[in-house]
Structure 1
């Protein structure tokens, strides 16, 4: 890993998030990390392309890690690195890389200094990781995350995950940031804009246009989001979208 953030020369830097935990799949715990990571990465020029959720099963964790790390520049996992028997992310990631699981010496030192006499066998599990892993600082609760290859393993607790992501960010290479602008189509349904919006999208191949409908109980609004890495291309598409919205709104008022 580099010591500072570097630009990727125009090539997109991509990422995936892998959320690990039975509690997410059962609905007992509501995920609060995917959206945060997505926005964070977008802001530093990394494209989040995929998010998955897998149970606490070693083979399923390993299969997902191997699929994602081969496809994307970075993989970020959350969950499963705590002190209980079902915290098996270390085992799953180690299995994916074909590595043994060890108690990382520096992680043991950090936990010993922080916990003192409270460091028992259960808490010592938080020092388990694949041999060769590098630690990720945890400024909140000290128990470190870790990275192996292009896989970054973080806690599931949002505040801890966010601190770890802050520690990771300076080591990541980044691409050109994705720009975006939103045009509010008040009073418009997706069906109103769908046809002409397709024509605008075709006319602007360097731009991505998405439509997102909302209903406030009285009327529909469709937000049209224009995205591009090129400010001039985005502005040209935005002008066409704004003209479309103005024309359709005028027709409704008539």
Structure 2
């Protein structure tokens, strides 16, 4: 498969009015974000877009122009009137929609006498698109750097997993590391020293995540980054140990394993 060979700011998009209006939970977005993180390449952007080809095309074109890769799009590739993702991708990449003969033949075999005009629409793809196998239904497709998946979780999960594995085999991303510590103090008590440390170590991403508990305020200090920056990570470890020694601790310093894509 001719996949894009660079990991460069992955982006995740889910499409659907029902998600945009809050009528359904966006489980696909959460699953995809966890999947990217589990492979050591967290998404740089996540979006929810309507079933509107102009909106899809506009936002996708921006992501492509800014170098986001790969871009995973979930939903809106069926054959009903409100499935507009194919058209949006074609607009974004400035490619015409053409009948993909391999896809058309595959769908004709799958649906037989039920191969209606609406289902035939699923074979109209952006010019140059390549198929992604889907044992449970119509195939997905990709036109680098955009990968389009069905919105059904039973289809999306194995298909996206396969693409991520293929991309990983082509070019392994740097190994990521996550360290965190939770203190029994308000975040403002350490904001200044954390800000100062972050400025000295820009390759490390540091987040402060406060909570209000019955016992009082707490703050989780989470540090993320590439293990390639060994000197930075030695400094991170020393900094967190210093915080741990200086403040009451709720949860001691520990390493956080990659998340599972499976929803809890």
TM range (shorter): 0.7 to 0.9
Q: Is 1:220 paired with 2:217?
A: yes
For residues 107-152 of structure 1, what are the alpha-carbon distances to aligned partners after superposition, in whole Å with 9 as ceiling and x for unaligned?
A: 223223333333322223332311220011223x231110112111
Q: Of 84, 91, 105, which residue of structure 2 is paired with 1:88?
A: 84
How many angstroms does 1:191 deviate by? 1.5
Query: Normalization by structure 2: what TM-score?
Result: 0.82
Secondary structure in structure 1 of the residue aligned to 2:79? coil
- Bigger mean CA deviation after superposition, 172-181 or 67-76: 172-181
Give aligned pairs, total.
243
How many angstroms does 1:246 deviate by? 2.9
Q: Is 1:200 paired with 2:207?
A: no
Compared CA separation, residues 218 and 110, structure 1 to 2 (3 A): farther
Match for residue 234 of structure 1?
233
For residues 66-109 of structure 1, what are the alpha-carbon distances to aligned partners after superposition, in whole Å with 9 as ceiling and x for unaligned?
A: 10112212211111112210001111111222222233222223
Q: How does 1:128-207 map to 2 (within 5 A)?
A: 128-139=124-135, 141-172=136-167, 173-185=171-183, 187-207=184-204
How many angstroms does 1:241 deviate by? 1.6
Unaligned runs of 5+ in 1: none
How many angstroms does 1:249 deviate by? 1.4
Q: Is 1:29 paired with 2:24?
A: yes
Secondary structure in structure 2 of the residue aligned to 1:246? helix
- Bigger mean CA deviation after superposition, 130-139 or 117-126: 117-126
Q: Is 1:53 paired with 2:45?
A: no
Contact 1:101 1:131 in 2 (8 A): yes
Q: Is 1:246 paired with 2:245?
A: yes
Compared CA separation, residues 244 and 159, structure 1 to 2 (3 A): same
Match for residue 74 of structure 1?
70
Counterparts of 2:198 and 2:246, CA distance in 1: 17
Counterparts of 1:2 and 1:55, CA distance in 2: 29
What is the alpha-carbon root mean square deviation over aligned residues? 2.4
Runs of 4+ that moved beyond 6 A: none
Counterparts of 1:57 and 1:217, CA distance in 2: 46
Contact 1:226 1:234 in 2 (8 A): no
How many angstroms does 1:29 deviate by? 2.0
Match for residue 34 of structure 2?
39
- Bigger mean CA deviation after superposition, 142-151 or 28-37: 28-37
Counterparts of 2:102 and 2:210, CA distance in 1: 50
